[in-house]
Amino acid sequence: MNQITKRKLPALVLALCLILSNVTMAFAGSESPQSVPPSLTAIDKEITATAEYLKTSASINATSDFYNSSKLLILLLRSGMNCSNLVDSYLSQIASTYISNGELILTDPLTDYAYLSIVLALAGRDATNFKGFNLIQKYETAIANADQATLNNINPYKLPHLYTAAYAYSKEFKDSAACLAKIKTAILSYGKENGIDYWGYSTDNNGFSLSGLASLNSSDSSVKKLVENSIIFSQTLLHSDGTSDGDFKWSAFPNSDSTAASLTLYSTYGKQDLAASSYAGLLTFKNSSQPGAYSYTNATDAASSYSTIDAFYSLVSYRAVLANQSAPFDVSDLLASGLPLNPPETDTTVATPDLGIDSNSIIDTASTINTGSAIDTASTIDTATDLSKTSPATGDSNITTIFFLISLMSACGVVAMMYIQNIENMKNKRNDL
């Protein structure tokens, strides 16, 4: 019996080494480069290029297009771009167009107040005294006076910004809980089994209509369920290369808008492997001839302003997650840290309307902006260095190293066991003789 054990032991050890080696290789091979989040330095490079492109090609005109102009300006400010000239022109346009007979009147108070209050916080201005008006008081009044049916009919892409603005300025509200509850109800009114139903289901609806609501997701079970349903559905439209279809009918093909929305959704709600994959997929839509621009599909390769803004939205959102910062449209971090505000504005005298920025004049305006300070290089490098200490990518690298060492040890074990087996065979031959 002992003889049999002695003969079989080397073979058993050899088999164990082979199994261990195969398992190690399987683990090491299962990690795709797309599952590793980008460094802050890498994503800052993409953000800067896109910000520069949008700064010189997209229109920021609050008079003719308040929503899109406000959204783009917020994203540019969150990117770290020096936008002082753009902010001054934007606010001048508002003052010249939306102040009448001593009253601040916006076209769509429910959402316009929200965007303006976000811009003011990012620009270091006092939203409780904008041109002599308490914008936050007006904002709360608009929400409080609106019936629930009106809130439920707001474009769901605007609702998360409506919520994050009210949440950030909640200390200035008399009854913030009631206002936030009404907005949450409006968001949930669009929720169905596959996520946000807005003329059907799509990755675009899910990603952009639920952006920046991580705090609400962690505190409300109904929102949490809606987010889970959205992620499950969106994954059914995700391709192996990280690109995403929009839906199963109207945009059943990989496109940059849907991929950007997926990146926003996955990164916001902690699906970092999916987010890293979507980030890699999004970069495949970078336009080949226009640095910083994105195309709608890889087939057309034509620069699209709409797609570029969506891509910019997702890049800035993803960067905030990687750096553990607030979502782009949530300025609660700035207000909570005691942001130094400029002296209260009381002068309602405004500049002439022709200071507005449109697609023709924006290039001239952009040339006056110090592009070198778009993103502080030193602070970016320091932040990226700090992040690398705890970055998932670093952890994955360490795990890969461990697997390599185990695999190397296994290989040495295989050689050793083969040598032992050879000696044992020679002994057995001698005994047989």
**Res. 23: pLDDT tops 70:** no
Rounded CA separation 433/413 (Å): 30
Whole-Å CA distances, 117 to 91, 167, 178: 11, 12, 19
Report, as an integer, the average pLDDT of 359-366. Answer: 31
Report, as an integer, the average pLDDT of 327-332. Answer: 96
Task: Give the sign of the dihedral formed by CA 61, CA 73, CA 272, CA 284.
Answer: positive
Rounded CA separation 83/371 (Å): 10
- DSSP letters spanning 233-277: HHHTTB-TTS-EES-SSSS-SEEHHHHHHHHHHHHHTT-HHHHHH
**Res. 85: pLDDT tops 90:** yes
Q: What pLDDT score does 59 carry?
A: 86
**Res. 322: pLDDT tops 90:** yes
Residue 422: count of CB within 10 angstroms of its CB: 11
pLDDT tens per residue, range 150-206:
999 999 999 999 999 999 999 999 999 999 999 999 999 999 999 999 999 999 999
More confident position, 409 or 333: 333
Report, as an integer, the average pLDDT of 64-70. Answer: 95
Portion of the chain with pLDDT greater than 90, in percent: 66
Most confident among 341-355, 369-383, 395-409 (mean pLDDT): 395-409
Give the lowest-confidence range in 8-17, 257-266, 313-322.
Answer: 8-17
SS3 410: helix
pLDDT tens per residue, range 269-316:
999 999 999 999 999 999 999 999 999 999 887 999 999 999 999 999
**Res. 356: pLDDT tops 50:** no
Residue 265: count of CB within 10 angstroms of its CB: 31
For the question of whether the overall pTM of this predicted structure is more than 0.85, the answer is no
Using an 8 Å Cβ cutoff, are 312 and 324 in contact? no
Residue 273: count of CB within 10 angstroms of its CB: 15
Residue 191: count of CB within 10 angstroms of its CB: 20
Rounded CA separation 339/84 (Å): 17
Rounded CA separation 356/350 (Å): 12
Helix (H) / strand (E) containing 196: strand 195-196
Most confident among 27-36, 118-127, 384-393, 414-423 (mean pLDDT): 118-127
Strands (E), 279-333: none
**Res. 398: pLDDT tops 90:** no
